[in-house]
Amino acid sequence: AKTDNQQPTLVDADSLRYDDLKQTSVFTGNVVLTKGSLTLRADRLELREDPEGFQHGVATATGSKLVFVRQRREGTDEYIEGEAERAEFDGRNDKIHFISRAVVKRLACEQVVDEVRGQQITYDQRAETYSANGGPRAATPNQRVRTVIQPRESGGAAQDNGCARPGAPAAAKGGR
């Protein structure tokens, strides 16, 4: 989502340790990062700024919790939601790498349209595509990449008519 790049980055956390020499900040304790439509929740976030001013971050979660990332796709009502034990985002070429037990879902009007599971999934924010590969710590029983694509109603692709207007009864669509 290109517009997100122009938005300020807001980070809320319990504590922060900022090293001015190495220009890195380490946030710990219910970290919430928001930048435009991108939101990220983790237990620990290390944010670094390279000389050209691009931000690079490594977010990890403690215990069995996963890092959660959600971002709106440019100009649509679709959202991308990603979860993994570790998320690295690269501000220079706008990529988010979800590493180990990675699950990335695409949602239209809060309905999961498709879902990919694997060990590492890279989501390219610019091209809005994602690529996945399997491995020992994949989120699938057989350590391989598994993609689930939901059937679309005939001719009723969610993006064309947008979501059901708020307030209109959503009885037509099954609950998630």
Partner 1 sequence: MRDRLASAVSIILLVSLVAGTWWAADYAQRAVTTDPPRRLTHEIDSYVEDFVMVRSDPEGLPSTRMEGKRLVHYPDDDSSEVTQLRAVNQRADRPTTVVSSNFARMDEDGARIDMRGNVDFQRMAAQGRDALTIRSEQMTLRPDEDLAFTDQPATILNGRSRIQGRGMRYNNVTRELSIAQRTQVEITPGKSPAPRQP
Binding site for partner 1 (CB under 8 A): 5-21, 23, 25, 27, 51-53, 55
Minimum distance from residue 61 beta carbon to partner 1 (Å)? 18
Residue 34's CB: how many other CB atoms inside 10 A?
17
Helix ranges restricted to H, 69-162: 158-161
Q: What is the torsion angle, in degrees rounded to the nearest 10, for the CA atoms of residue 27, residue 32, residue 35 and residue 37?
A: 160
Closer CB to partner 1, 35 or 86, in the complex = 35
Backbone angles phi, psi at 34, to 5 degrees: -125, 135
Minimum distance from residue 127 beta carbon to partner 1 (Å)? 21
Minimum distance from residue 130 beta carbon to partner 1 (Å)? 24
Closer CB to partner 1, 10 or 149, in the complex = 10
Q: What is the torsion angle, in degrees rounded to the nearest 10, for the CA atoms of residue 74, residue 150, residue 142 and residue 42?
A: 40
Minimum distance from residue 119 beta carbon to partner 1 (Å)? 31
Closer CB to partner 1, 20 or 160, in the complex = 20
